[in-house]
Amino acid sequence: MNEKNAKSNVNSLAIFNGHPKFKEKLHVGRPNIGDRVRLLNRINDILDRRWLTNNGIYLEEFEQRLCEQLGVKHCIVMCNGTVALEIAIRAADLKGEVILPSFTFIATAHALQWQEITPVFCDIDPQSHTINPWQIESLITPRTTGILAVHLWGNACDIESISKIARKHHLKLLFDAAHAFGCSYKGQMIGNFGDAEVFSFHATKFFNSFEGGAVATNNDELASKIRLMRNFGFSGYDQVDYIGTNGKMSEISAAMGLTGLESLESFIQLNRKNYNQYADELSDIKGLRLFSYKTSEKCNYQYVILEIDEELSGLSRDTLMSILWAENVLARRYFYPGSHRMEPYRSYFPHAGLLLGETEKLSQRILVLPTGASVTSPEISEICQVIRISLSNSREINQRLREKESKVSLVGS
């Protein structure tokens, strides 16, 4: 170990002018690649065939493999997860108001608002971080046409309770499953629930197709409509039967997806190994909670989620994030500050936060740590050492940061 980068006390922290622990930045969600040789062979075959898009052989094989992986009748792949979500929403004939959590990536809300559907934000369960089914019913109005629930971190939301509410009120039910590929609920793979479930295969996901997404459903009629909508509504060479857009996935993306599927289990095993190491090395630190996954279910372990309790730990989430960033550990604060606090929703619903108490609290506490194939076991130990030093010296760090801010203010004035 390079001694100048060693982290043993507060003075060694880069935020106080020590040397950064890592020369290269460690990202959350750096892409997995899989077998490069097999990928390049597929790409060369695509170039030789000169069939780059429009339902080529690789796309057809990719969809078939996905159906087998998920155990679903239909899996329609798209150019990206957002377009997949928008098409699923339109195909399901959602309109008026749709209930969803605010604690999600902004694309979930945008996919509704883009189609002039009003997103109605619901609070979350503080333990699962997913939409609280017991608050959904209080938000249902005569204009409500559906529920758009989100599986977060690879952890399924309470599908059973939400499904009962949807049936009781005759609402459509979609799931944003962007985080949940390869995960299960009560032994059944995510992709089989509601009217449809939508996946993202973006480069930052543990399983990616460079850029891509998919809609999984067991509804034949809905699947047929989605396939039309993905390709401008074409049902034949010169026949358009429905309004549509260009949501098609390219052959090269499908080739990447097929290559990733071949390494899927190894990606998951590595994520699990990393998660367990973080859990072991951070288990005894006061004021930290590592989000836990149900060992009875399949999980992709894609995210390592810390909750920082400032009162117990002595440091705020944002202070700890600043310390890690100075060390070139680019931890992320998902999904800060909550969709309801982003535009246009904060202008449309300025008082939404009054009904989203758990969302407001959680968005101030969450920190996502680097994992995946680009992070090594020694690097995880070093990340944990920085966290340990920071929280065990929280009082001194807060004092020095206040002094640092005061000096900056004096210079500025």
213 and 92, same structural domain?
A: yes
CATH number at residue 391: 3.90.1150.10
Task: Count CB neighbours of 100 within 10 A.
Answer: 25
Q: CB-based burial of residue 207 (10 Å sphere; 0-12 exposed, 13-18 middle, 19+ buried)?
A: buried
Positive or negative torsion for Cα 10, 12, 17, 22: negative
In a domain, 365, yes or no: yes
Which residues have CB under 8 Å from 180's CB, separation 6+? 151, 154, 155, 156, 190, 197, 199, 300
Give the separation between CA 212 and CA 299, rounded to whole angstroms: 21
Strand partners for 242: none
Task: Count CB neighbours of 343 within 10 A.
Answer: 8
Q: H or E segment at 148? A: strand 144-150
For 60-115, what is each residue's pLDDT tens digit?
A: 999 999 999 999 999 999 999 999 999 999 999 999 999 999 999 999 999 999 99
In a domain, 11, yes or no: no
Give the separation between CA 75 and CA 80, rounded to whole angstroms: 14
368 and 281, same structural domain?
A: yes
In a domain, 238, yes or no: yes
The predicted model scores a pTM of 0.95
Confidence of residue 411 (pLDDT cuts 50, 70, 90): low
121 and 253, same structural domain?
A: yes
273 and 253, same structural domain?
A: no
CATH number at residue 71: 3.40.640.10
Q: Is 261 left (phi over 0), alpha (psi -120 to 50) or beta?
A: alpha
Give the separation between CA 85 and CA 132, rounded to whole angstroms: 21
Give the separation between CA 338 and CA 328, rounded to whole angstroms: 25
272 and 258, same structural domain?
A: no
CA atoms in the 13 A half-sphere facing the CB of 204: 10
Q: Name the domain boundary from 262, 285, 319.
A: 262
295 and 194, same structural domain?
A: no
Q: Report pLDDT for 125.
A: 97
Domain span including residue 308: 264-412
Give the separation between CA 357 and CA 326, rounded to whole angstroms: 31
Which residues have CB under 8 Å from 87's CB, separation 6+? 78, 215, 226, 229, 230, 245, 247
Q: Name the domain boundary from 262, 279, 313.
A: 262
395 and 353, same structural domain?
A: yes
Positive or negative torsion for Cα 387, 390, 391, 393: positive
In a domain, 17, yes or no: no
In a domain, 285, yes or no: yes
400 token code pair: 């020095």
In a domain, 19, yes or no: no
237 and 250, same structural domain?
A: yes
Query: pLDDT at residue 2 above 70?
Result: no
For 243-257, what is each residue's pLDDT tens digit?
A: 999 999 999 999 999
Confidence of residue 406 (pLDDT cuts 50, 70, 90): confident
195 token code pair: 């009217």
Q: H or E segment at 133? A: helix 133-136
298 and 188, same structural domain?
A: no
In a domain, 368, yes or no: yes
**Peptide bond preceding 335: is omega within 30 degrees of 0, i.e. cis?**
yes
Give the separation between CA 33 and CA 406, rounded to whole angstroms: 46
287 and 242, same structural domain?
A: no
Query: pLDDT at residue 3 above 70?
Result: no
Q: Report pLDDT for 143.
A: 98
For 147-199, what is each residue's pLDDT tens digit?
A: 999 999 999 999 999 999 999 999 999 999 999 999 999 999 999 999 999 99
What's the domain count of the chain?
A: 2
Q: Report pLDDT for 413.
A: 56
Q: Name the domain boundary from 262, 284, 303.
A: 262
Q: Report pLDDT for 404.
A: 85
Q: Is 129 left (phi over 0), alpha (psi -120 to 50) or beta?
A: left
322 and 187, same structural domain?
A: no
In a domain, 20, yes or no: no
For 326-358, what is each residue's pLDDT tens digit?
A: 999 999 999 999 999 999 999 999 999 999 999
Indicate the residue type of 136: I
Confidence of residue 7 (pLDDT cuts 50, 70, 90): confident
354 and 237, same structural domain?
A: no
Query: pLDDT at residue 412 above 70?
Result: no
- What DSSP state is assigned to residue 81? H
- What DSSP state is assigned to residue 155? B
**What is the end-to-end Cα distance of the chain in Å, rounded?**
42
Q: Report pLDDT for 1.
A: 44
Q: Report pLDDT for 18.
A: 87
For 204-216, what is each residue's pLDDT tens digit?
A: 999 999 999 999 9
Give the separation between CA 122 and CA 138, rounded to whole angstroms: 9
For 269-327, what is each residue's pLDDT tens digit?
A: 999 999 999 999 999 999 999 999 999 999 999 999 999 999 999 999 999 999 999 99
Dihedral of the CA atoms 82, 86, 87, 90 (nearest 10)?
170
Q: Report pLDDT for 4.
A: 59
Give the separation between CA 216 and CA 76, rounded to whole angstroms: 6
Q: Report pLDDT for 130.
A: 98
